Amino acid sequence: MNADALSVLLVLDRRSYFGPVPPEVRVLGGVQVHLPVRDRVTSVVLPKTQRAERLMTGEDLQGSVLQLLNASRGRPAPQVEVFDGLSVNPRLHRLLDPAPGESAIAALLLHVDPETGDAAVYAKSAENAHGVLYALVALLPLQADLTVVDVCRQVLRGGALAHEVKAHTGRFVVHHPGVDIERKLNLPGQVDIVALAQQFHRHVSTHAGPFRPEFNDEIQFYERHVDIYQVFRGQEQAGFVTFTRHPQGRVRVRSKLFTPDPHKKMEAVLGWYEPHVETPLAFLGRTLPALRAEYAGPFVRVKVDLNVEDLATGHIFSLGFDQTNTGHGAHHQVEVEYVRTRNTAAAQAHTLDRALSRLVDFSRSWCQQQGVPAADTTLTKGDMVLNARAEAAHA
């Protein structure tokens, strides 16, 4: 594919998902979106004013797309907002099976890396008054004879939309970068975590209150299989490292190290682990040479996630309704974590802890109104795994 065709936004009719590409395919575009290749960005927001539909024909859209891009040259490039780091991929499972009355059209953004030839495929995740959010769903090698439509067909058939989920990091961060600020609520007993999350989302979407969803239809569901390691500095436990299996066989490694404040953790992505290259302990010895690692055990994490904005401050928080299966029962929590702030006003930094506490109090009260007891906790996934292992040893 011509390297000049860095990006093109496609809208494919749902008829093309599981069958031949129809002779008429709607293309949303006429604009070239410039993305920084080196940063491997995982989401973009296109302002709604840049959305213009045109009808293209033919199974192979490559030539038409290039003509469309060439015709748009010389015009001012659209302003494209790029999130700093990983962003969210909500509600993609519903693209393949829309609810009654919903649009049966999926929007895809194809970005070709001219250095590697990889095609990064984005899908429309959500939209609000400010723009439309597109999140990365696949990164594919683009063969010389592979067309735009071929790539889209691979992605839609491969199920990447239903499984690939990204997590939030900063946009405008008004506290020390790299430090997670979070609170947790423990939910004892039997809890339908998915139903509880859906009820909460429906409540904040339809009731006037101090919080609202960042994107009206934003809610994501995912399941992850994880191996967790304790890490020590000398004899003192320093935190945990997780090896999380992602779609297409990839394993992402993330560290969470303790700080003096039990509600704050130093978090970092250590990279992608390749089992055929080295063992997990060898990987940790190379990436965290000052720490000693021990295997704690496996767990399966089921999570329902949505973002809400504190209307008084513009701070945005992630609410994760979490179920952790250790093999010895399920543990349920609500994790409330600071994500970003809608504006760059440094003056809002001092309001962060107060806004976070307000949302935790709101969530605790709401859960209790649903008959679900909720209590503050600092229990981590690693603690759950270690406790389960200890209980099994004494059984």
Domains and CATH numbers, the chain: 7-163 (no CATH), 179-394 (2.40.320.10)
Question: What pLDDT band is residue 80 in, cutting at 50, 70 and 90?
Answer: very low
- Closest Cα to residue 201, out of 214, 219, 185? 219
Predicted pLDDT at 286: 94
- Most confident of the following: 14-18, 104-108, 142-146, 337-341: 337-341
For residue range 44-69, list pLDDT tens digits in order. Answer: 444 333 332 222 222 223 333 333 33
pLDDT exceeds 50 at position 2: no
pLDDT exceeds 50 at position 26: no
Q: How much of the chain, in percent, has pLDDT values that exceed 70?
A: 50
Question: What pLDDT band is residue 208 in, cutting at 50, 70 and 90?
Answer: confident
Q: Widest CA span of the chain, in angstroms?
A: 73
153-170: average pLDDT? 36
For residue range 239-256, list pLDDT tens digits in order. Answer: 999 999 875 567 889 999
Q: What is the mean pLDDT of the chain?
A: 65
For residue range 114-129, list pLDDT tens digits in order. Answer: 556 566 666 555 444 4
Predicted pLDDT at 335: 95
Predicted pLDDT at 143: 53
Dihedral angle computed from the Cα positions of residues 254, 258, 261 and 265, in that order, rounded to the nearest 10 degrees: -10
pLDDT exceeds 70 at position 231: yes
pLDDT exceeds 60 at position 341: yes
Q: What is the separation, in whole angstroms, between the first and last Cα of the chain?
A: 61
Q: Which is more confidently placed, 49 or 189?
A: 189
DSSP for residue 20: P
330-339: average pLDDT? 91
pLDDT exceeds 90 at position 362: yes
pLDDT exceeds 70 at position 18: no
pLDDT exceeds 50 at position 198: yes
Predicted pLDDT at 358: 95
User: pTM (2 decimals)?
Assistant: 0.58
Q: Which is more confidently placed, 189 or 3?
A: 189
CA distance linking residue 217 with residue 377, whole number of Å? 29
The DSSP-derived string for 162-223 is HH-------SS--S-TTEEEEEEEE--S---HHHHHHHHHHHHHHS-SSEEESSTT--EEEE
Question: What pLDDT band is residue 77 in, cutting at 50, 70 and 90?
Answer: very low
